[in-house]
Chain A
Amino acid sequence: MNRTRRSLAIELALLALVILVCVFPFYWMVTTSLKTQVVAMQSPPAWIFTPTLDNYRQALFVDGVSRTLLNSLIIAVSTTALAVVLGVPAAFALARFEFRGKKDLWFWFITNRMISPIVLALPFFLIARHFGMLDKHITLILIYLTFNLPIVIWIVTDQFRGIPYDLDEAARMEGASQFTIMRKICLPLAMPGVAVSAIFSFIFSWNELMFGLILTRSEARTAPAMAVSFMEGYNLPYGKIMATSTLIVIPVLIFALIASKQLVRGLTMGAVK
């Protein structure tokens, strides 16, 4: 009895430590964002201070972080929608049809997920420059497909394969086309997988920095690119940087928490086969 209690206590302590380590940086981020410049640069750092919302006012209304947040939202939502629309039929084909070169095709789709963005960023910049597509939302929406499509295809293919064949065979008997089978029979059953892949796409797109940095300048600038732009070597407005960081991170954290069950499922789907 005593032993169990002690091991429970240890377990509890370990879990508390995990929670603390996970959450503490966010606590520090938010509190720093509420500090004035002088307090933020104080040594040793202050734990108790008079909070101010000035950094947020400055970031949102003077420096235009609000617009970059809107840009990020537009881009992330559009690219996610596009990835799902394009990726779901491909996933269906990979799961259901037999054809030559299928393995290689699947492999090629997945490899895109592995490619370092800098490999694409260089030529994509030159091409976008050629077509006058720099600093446009559509450019980021398209290039984000390079990592979103593989995610959708990967996860949704798995999901489709989990659906028994008898269902679509019955439908085929009745003369339904493959498209109808996908839309009417399999897709509803695969919805959890689609949702998961959409959530992943959204989060990855929202968080992306390098393409945003290289392919936008002002009109289509994304929120992470904006946060980085405060790092002028002349002064370090840590309060403002943390306020902007908070504005970027909080929506995606809330989103991730709401969808946490699906997220974990998605991880296991993509990962555990």
Chain B
Amino acid sequence: MRGQVSRKTILAFIGPSVIALAVIGIAPLLYAVWTSLHFYNLTKLRQVRFIGLENYQTVLTDAAFWQAMGRTFLLLATSLPLQLALGLGIALVLHRPGLTLVKTLTRLSLVLPMATTYAVVGLLGQVMFNQQFGVVNQLLGQNINWIGNASNAFAMIVFWDVWQWTPFVALVLLAGLTMVPGEVEEAARLETSNWWTILRHVQLPFLMPGLVAVLILRTADTLKLFDMVFTLTRGGPGNSTEMISLLIQRVGFRVFDQGLASAQAVILLIITIVLARLYIRVFYKEV
């Protein structure tokens, strides 16, 4: 019996948000699909014409697109393990008893990177990693060319991504750790003092949901990543840090080829949805 309500009531509750998201979410997407089937350059609006799947053909065979996609996943594959390892370490330390005041302070400081405007992170990166007057080189006692060297620039992007999102991982995992019932953990500690055993057999089950959420959100956010890279390197030098969102932005608003960019965006959307469905189906209990 519970939960059975009239269709009218349901519509009244979900209607507004469905309509809102349809208007601002779906309508533009349909429009993007329409655009992607046309030659549609903002500076050549008089020549707009239907060209079928030509834009898709271009995207599918364009090395630059797949390189940017590969680069984006390389970033995920590099920074996510670091975030998990560091985040887990921090969570485990915070979970230990004692040093309450310092731990409260740590938890507060962990909130800061997450809340920071992503664009500002990139600007800060420019200032701190500058070869001549950057504080990072000063502290390292090195003269490293961060921004002008392909692999160093990529490493710098990884650094800032790890800086900003390790706290998120740490706090989520810490929350998981606190869900472990006290008596279970104590009993386990009486049996073994090996932290790895405890982690593996006692704590991990409670960490799983958090880990899954981290995986989903970090994947989505890496595919979305734009602001920080845009302000830090703009995809350079060369295209060594050009992530997928930067590439599409460049094609759409610098080359002004909205048709091609829309095709790229549609393909990115498909990849995102497939991944999200996969993750959620595999890991998530639904509503």
Contact = CB atoms under 8 A, between A and B. Distances in A.
Contacts of B231: 209, 228, 231
A145 B16 CA distance: 12
Given A98-B4, A227-B120, A15 B167 contact: no
Contact of B109 (A23, A120, A122, A203): A23
Contacts of A110: 276, 280
Taking chain B's interface residues, is the majority helix, strand, or loop, or is none over half, making it mixed? Answer: helix
B51 interface: no
Given A122-B265, A257-B111, A86 B32 contact: no
Interface string B172-200: 10111001000000000000000000000
Interface stretch (B59-67, B76-84, B131-139, B150-158): B131-139
B31 A127 contact: yes
Interface in A250-271: 252-253, 255-257, 260, 263-264, 267-268, 270-271
A190 interface: no
B9 interface: yes
A238 B110 contact: no
A26 B10 CA distance: 47
Interface residues of A, number: 101
Interface residues of B, number: 104
B258 A253 contact: no
A210 interface: yes
B287 A118 contact: no
Contact of B108 (A43, A146, A257): A257
Contacts of B210: 268, 271-272
Nearest to A157: B287
A22 B245 contact: no
A144 to B, nearest CB: 9
B35 A11 contact: no
A32 B127 contact: yes
A272 B175 contact: yes
A123 B28 contact: yes
Nearest to A46: B133
Contact of B119 (A8, A42, A117, A228): A228
A14 B10 CA distance: 52
Taking chain A's interface residues, is the majority helix, strand, or loop, or is none over half, making it mixed? Answer: helix
B46 to A, nearest CB: 16
A78 interface: no
A163 interface: no
Contacts of B126: 238
Contacts of B74: none
A130 to B, nearest CB: 9
Nearest to B131: A43
Contacts of A15: 93-94, 99, 102-103, 105-106
Interface of B: 2-5, 7, 9-10, 12-14, 16-18, 20-21, 24-25, 27-29, 31-32, 35, 89-90, 93-94, 96, 98-99, 102-103, 105-121, 123-124, 126-128, 132-135, 138, 163, 167-168, 171-172, 174-176, 179, 209-210, 213-214, 216-217, 220, 223-224, 226-227, 230-231, 244-245, 248-249, 252-253, 258, 261-262, 265-266, 268-269, 272-273, 275-277, 280, 284-287
Interface of A: 8, 11-12, 14-16, 18-19, 21-23, 25-26, 28-29, 32, 40-45, 86-87, 89-90, 92-99, 102-103, 105-124, 126-127, 142-143, 145-146, 149, 153, 157, 165, 169, 178-179, 182, 203, 206-210, 214, 224, 227-228, 231, 238, 241-242, 245, 248-249, 252-253, 255-257, 260, 263-264, 267-268, 270-273
Those 3 A-B pairs whose CB atoms lie nearest each other, nearest first:
A271-B213, A268-B175, A256-B115
27 contacts: A8-B99, A15-B99, A15-B102, A15-B106, A44-B133, A44-B138, A93-B14, A94-B287, A107-B277, A111-B272, A114-B216, A115-B272, A116-B248, A118-B268, A122-B32, A126-B258, A142-B24, A169-B2, A207-B115, A208-B227, A209-B118, A209-B231, A224-B117, A242-B123, A248-B120, A260-B111, A272-B210
